């Protein structure tokens, strides 16, 4: 999917990304919220995803629910890469 920044806070610490391409056709709304906050020794990155399926794709809900672990694992790998610098 391709994302575009649709909102950012004045300080640049909160960004909202939305998509209308690729697999986004399954979703009425699809957005990632990324927040950057100072933390001891670096920056804390908080990421949350919000998705609303189109009714005709509701059958995908259990699959997406089961994928939450895979998404968490991907974000954990990203964290390790970023920390390794």
Give pLDDT tens digits for 44-54.
Answer: 888 888 888 89
Does residue 22 carry a pLDDT above 80? Answer: no
Contacts of 64 (CB under 8 A, 6+ apart): 51, 53
Contacts of 41 (CB under 8 A, 6+ apart): none
The residue ranking higher by pLDDT, 26 or 58, is 58
Output the pLDDT for position 41: 84
Q: For residue 72, give its domain range.
A: 4-84
The encoded tokens of residue 54 equal 């189109």
Question: What are 54-79's pLDDT values in tens digits?
Answer: 999 999 899 888 888 888 888 888 88
With contact defined as beta carbons under 8 Å apart, do 41 and 63 qualify?
no
Output the pLDDT for position 80: 87
pTM of this prediction? 0.63
- Number of independent structural domains in the chain: 1
Output the pLDDT for position 2: 64
């Amino acid at each position: 999917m391709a994302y575009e920044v649709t909102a950012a806070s004045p300080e640049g610490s909160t960004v909202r990304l939305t998509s209308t391409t690729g697999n986004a056709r399954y979703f009425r709304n699809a957005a990632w919220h990324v927040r950057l906050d100072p933390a001891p020794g670096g920056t804390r990155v908080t990421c949350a995803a919000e998705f609303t399926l189109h009714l005709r794709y509701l059958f995908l809900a259990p699959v997406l629910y089961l994928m939450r672990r895979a998404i968490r694992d991907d974000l954990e790998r990203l964290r390790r890469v970023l920390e390794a610098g």
